[in-house]
Structure 1
Amino acid sequence: MGQDVYAALRDGFTDPIRDVLWGHIYLTPELAALTKSAPFMRLYRIFQLGPAYAVYPGATHTRAAHSIGVYHLARRLLLNLANRGAESWLSPVGAVSFLCAALLHDLGHFPYTHSLKELPLRRHEELTAEIILSEPVKSLVARAGGDPALSAAIVDTGLPVGSEKEPVFYRKLLSGVLDPDKLDYLNRDARYCGVPYGAQDVDFILSRLYPHQEQGVTIDSKGIPSVESILFSKYLMYRAVYWHPIVRSATGMVKKALLAGLEEGIIRAEELYGLDDAGLFALLASRPHPLFRLVEQVRIGRFYGAVAEFPFNGADHRDLLDISRRSRYEEALATELSEALGETLRPEDVLIDVPEPISFETGLYVSDEGCYFSESSSVFNAGSVESFVKSLRIIRIFVDPEHENRVKSCSKLNEILHIRKKWLNLM
């Protein structure tokens, strides 16, 4: 079986794609055909970082470029692990299925997907699995030498795999602390944003990984600094890029509009799946709803401005985690600000943004220390990770730019926010 696996990972990779980050990336003609399919081509029309280009003009790279990078790192990772013993439980079909899963893992994404998890929408992994199991992707995966059902199950962990260990191994590789997804997006996002925070030493990281059939990979203590670098880079990228106030404002505006449209039946969830960036703006521009003007404002770069911010506290801010209840708080705050300013602020002019939960995966096993990463000699213990998360989750109150300066200069603003904080259990 071992040589067959090596052949599946090495032979016939004759079609190059030139990538800004990784140089030449080679695919078999059959894998290259997947990148030319209609579902994959749609990913070229979705910005990887959504509205982040408003802050970092270079951040116009696409989910397609990212997906090709993930495939490249997945192939390097699997070859490395096969050379270190994993070939004993890998199959040629399984190896190719894993490469297809890495290449296709974002097929179910639609614009702003990661920012819309609070809305009643299906998981993008579930949508990806459905696309892989449908034509034309299903036949293309089979022609490449993979099993479409296995590729779908690797991406969507909600699909059953029975007692087979090989699919579980691939799932651990595709989603973990040192997965090819994270290694690509941290490096790629940093490169295109022009910031240094995400750069990782991929060659060294791959050299410190060892295969484990149940856990996916383990590291030795020499690899601890690499994991620390990834975790700290993720923190810095969230702080400076992913959760930049302007990015939070833009995504919050889109989310507010979509919530209203979904709750009132102006749009159906199914209409969002399969859209690209331009398609989302066109869909909402064609439907009658006053809040859809927020999406048009995002399109033209007219973002709401922050007038207040304070740290999120899970014990005190449970009410704000309910997006529908949060809308009612926005209405009340708009009323109070209107009275204080002597001008009308509509409920849609006020936005309360609460960043979603974020995790810093520390479940990697350190073999020579005999413990998991969070219990190892790393500085990233449970307490430090909790501090990182706490410093990132900042609640912000945004208002329409038409009112922003007057709200900021309002003599009663602090008093209103102080009272409102108490009413919202924010003290």
Structure 2
Amino acid sequence: MDASPEWKVFYDPVHGHIEMHPLLVTIIDTPQFQRLRNIKQLGGGYYVFPGASHNRFEHSIGVAHLAGKLVQGLRTRQSLDITDTDELCVKIAGLCHDLGHGPFSHVFEVFMKELNPSSEWKHEEASVRMFEYLAEVNGISHVMRKDYGFQDQDFQFINELIYGPNPPGSKNLGDSHSWPYEGRPREKSYLYQIVANHTTGIDVDKMDYFSRDCHHLGIKCNFSHERYLVFARVCNDKIHGAQICMRDKEAMNMYELFHIRSLLHHTIYHHRVTKAVENMIVDALIAAENHFRLGDKNLTISAAVNDPSTYMNLTDVILQQILHSSGTELSTARRITERIFNRNFYKFIGGKTFEPDDVKLLDNAEKWKAKLRVWIEHVQKEASGQQPPFTADEFKVMPIKINYGMKNKNPIESLGFYKKDDPHEPIQLSKDEVSYLLPGKFAEIKVMLFYKGQDKDVVELAKRHSRKLWEELQQAPEDQ
């Protein structure tokens, strides 16, 4: 490793010239971070939108940049007890928060869940492990301690910024009382609202990927993260403690953040063809799970997440590896992958949007699968034996929860505001201070139905009777 790294300038299409601290440059130049060049930001979206070619690599650099800008702005505008080490920790967390993403980003989390429904694995967990591995094998942890004065508490702080309270490997460094973090005291609670904000969902991670996704997709983003960085301020609330608040006149800008989130989820992230492709990627990985081995330890795909040295080898490239495999044991996975590259995707049968309370059974996979079987029986009965036989396994129901980031709550209600003439006192804004044209509801469920087979007659038959499935899903479980 270079003993005397220097500040470097990266040119980013979203943020322009980004100046990076030498320690961050050292992290970027490791194989563990470079791995992110081969993980698409939008998963299967690149198979639909030609501009969606960006990767987790550039997003992570952008988050580190915005995190640094926000901390520096707070330090400049206010007399806060933010140290150079605090600032560096926040930047590192922004840079490393996505180290744990698997192939095709969030698609891999779906794979892990479908493979094992009881799995609680999230990429943030793997990010913490990968950061610790990166720092150790490249000698960076030694440099952080020796040259920058990092202590155990600082490493804990970085992990908490990425994961939240009680990250993997927590050492219980002290009496946490009712404060769930060990890395920094309650007095610095606002630092935990920068990279991954568990209070309001307003953080620089979202600000970067919304701006970046819109840029690459050619969509206008009306939210201004530049204005957020300028008007963000720390206020002390008796209940919530020190928190990042926003100028009252910026309320509509903050609503735009969640409006663009909703728009992207509806039109891009959950586009019908995007979801068809991602379903196929998940099915290919499941089919390959017991036959595809990784690294010197010969681990399966799912086992690799617990071993950073093996997980290093797991990127989007896995589809090409499956495609070019020759063993019969991978024939099913290879056939699905060939369909993807031939653009012979699963067929979209139909979709419908519900209010969450209308389809509560979607939270229970067994219950909605039972409803799917009832619907299949109905369709086959209507076909009167004239269609080829088909089963529920050939169909895929996808319940997709879309909200403003806090389930059915308005996240802006959790955000403190301040007025120009009293910048130290956090307040809540009423509708007559913002607008009566604001959303009245903040969550919905979009249900999509796909057919995995290739029989055109089955597709047409299923489409004709899709309304019956929506009726089934709206029936209460006790009606079964």
Q: 2:90 maps to which residue?
A: 98
Distance 2:463 2:155 in 1: 62
Kindly indicate whether residue 142 of structure 2 is the aligned counterpart of residue 149 of structure 1.
no
Aligned residues of 1:81 and 1:211 also touching (Cα < 8 A)? yes
Aligned equivalents of 1:205, 1:192: Cα separation in 2: 22
| 1:342 is aligned to 2:387 | yes
C-alpha displacement at 1:325, in angstroms?
Answer: 5.0
Question: Alignment identity in percent?
Answer: 20
Q: Note the aligned Cα RMSD (angstroms).
A: 3.7
CA contact (8 A) 1:374 1:380 kept: no
Q: Provide Cα deviations, 1:233-260, integer angstroms capped at 9, x if missing partner.
A: 1121112111211122223344456568
| CA–CA distance in structure 2, aligned partners of residues 406 and 102 of structure 1 | 48
SS of residue paired to 2:129: helix
* One of 232, 240, 264 as aligned partner of 1:237: 264
Contact between 2:401 and 2:443, CA under 8 Å: does it hold in 1? no
**1:302: how far off?**
2.6
SS class of match (2:57): helix
Q: Which residue of 2 aligns with 1:180?
A: 204
Name stretches of at least 5 consecutive residues in structure 2 with no aligned partner.
167-179, 294-299, 406-410, 420-424
Q: Partner of 2:181 in structure 1? A: 161
Describe the SS at the equivalent of 1:161: coil
Question: Which sits farther off after the overlay, 333-342 or 207-216?
Answer: 333-342
Q: What residue in structure 1 maps to residue 277 of structure 2?
A: 250
The 5-angstrom pairing of residues 121-136 of structure 1 reads 121-136=120-135
Are the equivalent residues in 2 in contact too, given 1:97–1:141 (CA < 8 A)? no
Deviation at 1:332, TM superposition (A): 5.5
Distance 1:420 1:404 in 2: 24
Does 131-140 or 285-294 show the bigger shift?
285-294
Match of 2:224 in 1: 201
Matched residue type, 2:53: T
Identify the structure with the greater helix proportion: 1
- Spell out the pairing of 1:9-28 with structure 2 (5 A cutoff): 14-28=7-21
1:322 pairs with one of 357, 361, 364: 364
CA distance 1:282–1:14, change in 2 (3 Å): same
Which of residues 425, 439, 457 in structure 2 aligns to 1:384? 439
Q: Secondary structure at the match of 1:310?
A: strand
**In structure 2, distance between residues paired with 1:330 and 1:292:** 28
Q: Which residue of 2 aligns with 1:303?
A: 345
Equivalent residue, structure 2, for 1:7: none
Residue 413 in 1 paired to residue 412 in 2?
A: no
Label 1:123 to 1:23 Cα distance change in 2 as closer, same or farther (>3 A): same
Q: Tell me which of 86, 93, 106 is aligned to 1:114.
A: 106
Secondary structure of the structure 2 residue equivalent to 1:24:
strand
Deviations 1:128-183 (A, max 9, x none): 11222224358425635353332112111132633713663322111234421111
1:277 counterpart SS class: coil
1:45-100 Cα distance to aligned partner (Å, 9 max, x none): 000001112221010100010000111111111110111225x3212212111110
CA shift at 1:199, angstroms? 4.7
Matched, 1:269 2:302: yes
Hey, what does 1:355 align to over in structure 2? 400
**Cα displacement (A) at 1:314:** 3.1
Partner of 1:84: 77
The amino acid of 1:344's aligned partner reads: P
Q: Deviations over 1:97-146 (max 9, x none)?
A: 11100111101111244343554251211211122222435842563535
Shift of 1:210: 0.5
The 1:219/1:416 distance shift into structure 2, 3 A limit, reads closer
Amino acid at match of 2:226: D
TM-score w.r.t. the length of structure 1 is 0.82
Pair 180,105 (structure 1): closer, same or farther in 2 beyond 3 Å:
same
The Cα of 1:18 is off from its aligned counterpart by 1.4
Structure 2 counterparts to residues 211-230 of structure 1, below 5 A: 211-212=234-235, 214-230=241-257
CA pair 193-372 structure 1, distance change in 2 beyond 3 A = same
- Residues paired across the two proteins, number: 410
Contiguous gaps of at least 5 residues in structure 1: 1-11
- Given candidates 30, 36, 39, the residue that maps to 1:37 is 30
